[in-house]
Amino acid sequence: MRWDNQRVEGSGEQSLFGVSGLIRSVRSPEFAGVTFHEVRARSVLNKVPAASGVPFRWTVNPYRGCSHACRYCFARNTHTYLDLDAGADFDSQVVVKVNAPDVLAAQLRRPGWAREHVAMGTNTDPYQRAEGKYRLMPGIITALARSGTPFSILTKGTVLTRDLPLLAAVSADVPVGLGVSIALLDRDLQRALEPGTPSPQARLELVRRARDAGLPCGVFVAPVLPGLTDSPAALDGLLAAVADAGATGATVIPLHLRPGAREWFGRWLAHEHPELVSRYRELYGRGSYVGAGYRRWLAATVTPLLRRHGLAPRSGGQERGVPGDDEADWPGGSVPEGEGARTGGEGGQLSLL
C-alpha cells in the first residue's frame, strides 16, 4: 500500500487505548488531517440488544469514526469508548477493520447463522471517503449474498456508486435495501453542517443511479434542524428534488441530540447561529429529543408534502428495511399523520422505507 511511508507509529501520537488488534496508524495526503488506525477485528457481525427496539438484530460497521464530520452525528459518543473524544477525534481518528470481509464470511458460515437481516450504516457510514481506498464493502456485500443473508445500507457517500453493479447482481439472490441521507439542499449550510460529505446534488444523483440500476432506494430527510432546515419552502424543495431523483420513498426525522453530539453541535450553533440558542434550549431542554409540540408541527407540515410529491407510504413499504437514525419511530417510511417522531422515551423503533 502506498501509505506505508505515512505511518505515524513512534511519532509521538497517542495510540488507541480502547481498541485491540491495532496493526498500524497511517496518514495520507489524500485525507488531510485524518489518521486511519488499521485493526484486525475478531468479530464484525454485531448483535443488537433486544431492548433497543429496532426491527433488525444484526449490524456490520467496518469503520469507527467518520470523516463526514457531521456536526449533529448521533454516533459521536461511541468514540469515547476508544478513549477518544466525541468531537474532533470522531472526525479525524478513523478505525478501519481491514479484515472485515474475511471475518464476516467466516461468521456467516457458522451452522447457527439464521440468515437474519443485516443493517449497515447504523453507526458510521460504510461509504465514507476511506472506503474508496480500503474497498471493504465489496467483500462484505459478497459475503452476505453468498450466505443468503438479506441486508440494507444507509449512506451519504457517493463511493456507493462504484458498487451499484455488484448490488444489482446480488439483489437477484437476496433482498437488498438502499437508503441515502439528504438533510438539505442549501450548499453553504451543508458545507458548514456536513463539511466532509458529498454535495446534496451528488447524493441525489446517487439515488438516480441506484434507481437506474434497478435497485430500490429511499431517502432519509434527516435530520430536520429547527430554524435551519425546517421551513415549509425548504422541505417542499427538498422533497420535490427527492421525488425527481426517483426515490422509492422518503423518511423525515427531526434532529435529536444525544450526549457527545449535543455538546459538539451546541458549540457550533452558538458560534454560527447564536440567535437560535435559546430556541434550542427550549426545544431540547428535557433531553435528547425535540418536544412533542414541535414534532406535531413538523408532521402536519411534512405529511401533505409527502403526498404532493408521491412519497407517502405505500402498501408493503416496510418489506425492505433500511437503517436510519435508530432512535426514531416513524414506521412506514414517513411522518405518521397527526404525530411526530414517537420516540417512546429514550429508545424507539427504527424508521423503515
For the chain, the 3-state helix, strand and coil shares in percent, each to the nearest 5, are 35, 15, 45
Kindly tell me the sign of the dihedral angle through the C-alpha atoms of 99, 101, 103, 106. negative
Distance CA 27, CA 186 (A): 32
The domain made up of 16-329 is a member of CATH 3.80.30.30: yes
Phi, psi of 309 (to 5 degrees): -100, 10
pLDDT (tens digit, 0 to 9) for every residue of the chain, 353 residues total?
Answer: 444 444 544 443 445 556 678 999 999 888 889 999 999 999 999 998 887 767 789 999 999 999 999 999 989 988 988 888 888 899 999 999 999 999 999 999 999 999 999 999 988 999 999 999 999 999 999 999 999 999 999 999 999 999 999 999 999 999 999 999 999 999 999 999 999 999 999 999 999 999 999 999 999 999 999 999 999 999 999 999 999 999 999 999 999 999 999 999 999 999 999 999 999 999 998 889 999 999 999 999 999 999 999 997 753 333 334 444 433 333 233 333 332 332 222 222 222 22
Spans of all domains in the chain: 16-329
Give pTM, 2 decimals: 0.86
Given this model, what pLDDT does residue 123 score?
86
Residue 64 DSSP one-character state: E
Compute, in degrees rounded to 10, the torsion defined by CA atoms 217, 261, 239, 220.
Answer: 20
Distance CA 141, CA 125 (A): 15
The alpha carbon of 102 is separated from its chain's Cα centroid by a whole number of angstroms, namely 23
At 247-259, the pLDDT tens digits run 999 999 999 999 9
SS3 (DSSP) at 261: helix
